[in-house]
């Protein structure tokens, strides 16, 4: 077999695996239709993957038109695992995920992540420990707050951690054989959010997340747009208020400094005169409604830029204020006032009810990188 044929075979194999993962249960016949390849190709790949212990048959699901039983396929118990790592200010979260999405274990390790060497040492030792307990780990995804070049493993800037132009290459620096990819943490979350819905994930989506900061990602057909310097989607640093408060980036009135969870806590503290715990329970109180209304208005102003410049099919908003109607109404009202009519009609804006865990997103990103052939071929 030539090298080219071998790669094509591997690409088809990963595509088939990705379909089995996303549909949970499928059949050879459906895979032929989805992949646009011959029946024979699908049968050969399925056989190979069954022998490798990656997929399995689980019995008969209905009758086909010719009356022959349709055999269902699913991922096997012994299929791949991935490791997700989330770097926070004072701790690291680690998760191990099965290829079918099940979480196999979680850990939280104290670490002063301002110290980059200590952070790397801690991550490497936990990876080695996990590798000793699992047999089929495809890779590690490390989620970092900041601007990250994932191809060269460089953190350009992390204001939260105080890192600037830092190499973060655990394969080169520590000789780890298992592929490790770093990525901005909101982007990893974005992937997780869209992967929940097979139909949605085929479209172009702008994902926006409000947490301690505000970040975003533009995704088109499962691929995150990076831009020229890995900053595409950084909605948090669009200024929406002249002479607004000073942001960590040096500008005034950034969306992040106005509507992040930290900004929210600060505002509530000012009116109540005491420290508050987040997430806030009484989101419907009058004082909260006033703030939520203001925050919605700021968000709406930023969204208009996204609608006009990126023109996504869908905007998904993951924020702790989504349960507040004052927030969603103010946001939509602002958008309606200022956006052009056609994209306004065509863009589906969703205030997501469920929030996703960033460390789970990091683990899932490994499988997506694998399926999209961004992880090295180990054939």
Compute the least distance from the CB of residue 249 to Zn ion, in Å.
3
- Half-sphere exposure (CA, 13 Å, Cβ side) for 164? 3
Q: Which is nearer to Zn ion, 69 or 162 (CB)?
A: 162
Q: How many of the other CB atoms lie within 10 Å of CB of 184? A: 27
Distance between CA atoms of residues 318 and 186, nearest Å? 10
Residue carrying structure tokens 């239709």: 33
Q: Which stretch binds Zn ion (CB under 5 A): 37-45, 147-155, 206-214, 240-248?
A: 240-248
Query: How many residues bind Zn ion, per CB under 5 A?
Result: 5
Site for Zn ion contains 237 (CB under 5 A)? yes
Q: How many of the other CB atoms lie within 10 Å of CB of 325? A: 15
Token readout for 246 is 């000073």
Question: What b/e readout covers 78-99, taking b as 16+ CB neighbours within 10 angstroms?
Answer: ebbbbbbbbbbeeebbbbbbbb
Token readout for 305 is 């830029």
Q: How many of the other CB atoms lie within 10 Å of CB of 342? A: 9
- Please identify which residue in 54, 148, 208, 247 interacts with Zn ion, judged by CB under 5 A: 247
Site for Zn ion contains 301 (CB under 5 A)? no
Compute the least distance from the CB of residue 256 to Zn ion, in Å.
6
Site for Zn ion contains 235 (CB under 5 A)? no
**CA distances to 207, 316, 342 from 348, in Å:** 12, 8, 12
In sign, the C-alpha dihedral spanning 321, 205, 137, 28 is positive
Site for Zn ion contains 187 (CB under 5 A)? no
* 39-51 helix and 28-35 helix, angle to the nearest 10 degrees: 120
Q: Which is nearer to Zn ion, 148 or 258 (CB)?
A: 258
Per-residue string for binding with Zn ion, 193-232, x by CB under 5 A? ----------------------------------------
Per-residue string for binding with Zn ion, 305-334, x by CB under 5 A? ------------------------------
Q: Which stretch binds Zn ion (CB under 5 A): 249-257, 322-330, 335-343, 361-369?
A: 249-257
Site for Zn ion contains 249 (CB under 5 A)? yes
Compute the least distance from the CB of residue 137 to Zn ion, in Å.
37
Q: Which stretch binds Zn ion (CB under 5 A): 82-90, 154-162, 250-258, 309-317?
A: 250-258
Q: Which stretch binds Zn ion (CB under 5 A): 13-21, 138-146, 247-255, 366-374?
A: 247-255
Q: How many of the other CB atoms lie within 10 Å of CB of 55? A: 25
Distance between CA atoms of residues 2 and 186, nearest Å? 40
CB 157 within 8 A of CB 147: yes
- Please identify which residue in 94, 170, 254, 303 interacts with Zn ion, judged by CB under 5 A: 254
Token readout for 137 is 């780990």
Compute the least distance from the CB of residue 216 to Zn ion, in Å.
13
Site for Zn ion contains 160 (CB under 5 A)? no
Compute the least distance from the CB of residue 154 to Zn ion, in Å.
21
**C-alpha of 212 from chain center:** 16
Compute the least distance from the CB of residue 281 to Zn ion, in Å.
29
In the DSSP assignment, the letter for residue 329 is: H
Site for Zn ion contains 15 (CB under 5 A)? no
Contact residues: Zn ion, CB under 5 A = 237, 247, 249, 251, 254
């Amino acid at each position: 077999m030539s090298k080219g044929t071998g790669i094509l075979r591997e690409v088809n194999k990963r595509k088939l695996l990705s379909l089995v993962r996303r549909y949970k249960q499928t059949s050879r016949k459906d895979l032929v239709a989805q992949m646009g390849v011959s029946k024979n190709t699908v049968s050969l790949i399925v056989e190979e993957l069954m022998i490798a212990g990656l997929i399995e048959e689980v019995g008969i699901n209905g009758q086909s038109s010719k009356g022959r039983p349709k055999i269902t396929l699913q991922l096997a118990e012994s299929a791949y695992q991935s490791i997700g790592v989330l770097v926070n200010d004072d701790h690291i979260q680690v998760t191990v995920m099965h290829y079918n999405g099940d979480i196999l274990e979680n850990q939280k390790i104290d670490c002063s992540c301002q110290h980059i060497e200590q952070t790397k040492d801690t991550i490497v030792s936990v990876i080695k420990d996990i590798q000793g307990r699992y047999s089929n780990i495809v890779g590690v995804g490390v989620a970092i707050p900041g601007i990250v070049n994932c191809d060269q493993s460089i953190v350009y800037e992390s204001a939260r951690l105080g890192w600037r132009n830092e190499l973060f290459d655990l394969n080169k620096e520590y000789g780890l054989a298992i592929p490790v990819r770093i990525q901005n943490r909101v982007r990893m979350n974005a992937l997780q959010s869209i992967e929940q819905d097979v139909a949605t994930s085929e479209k172009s989506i702008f994902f926006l997340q409000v947490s301690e900061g505000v970040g975003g990602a533009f995704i088109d057909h499962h691929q995150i747009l990076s831009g020229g310097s890995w900053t595409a989607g950084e909605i948090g640093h669009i200024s929406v208020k002249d002479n607004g408060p000073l942001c960590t980036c040096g500008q005034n009135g950034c969306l992040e400094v106005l509507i992040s969870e930290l900004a929210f806590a600060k505002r509530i503290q000012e009116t109540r005169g005491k420290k508050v715990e987040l997430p806030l329970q009484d989101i419907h109180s009058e004082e909260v409604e006033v703030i939520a209304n203001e925050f919605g208005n700021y968000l709406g102003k930023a969204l208009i830029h996204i609608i006009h410049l990126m023109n996504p099919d869908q905007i998904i908003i993951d924020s702790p204020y989504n349960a507040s109607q004052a927030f969603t109404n103010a946001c939509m009202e602002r958008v309606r006032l200022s956006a052009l009519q056609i994209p306004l009609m065509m863009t589906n804006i969703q205030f997501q009810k469920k929030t996703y865990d960033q460390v789970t997103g990091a683990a899932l990103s490994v499988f997506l990188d694998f399926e999209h052939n961004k992880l090295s071929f180990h054939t």
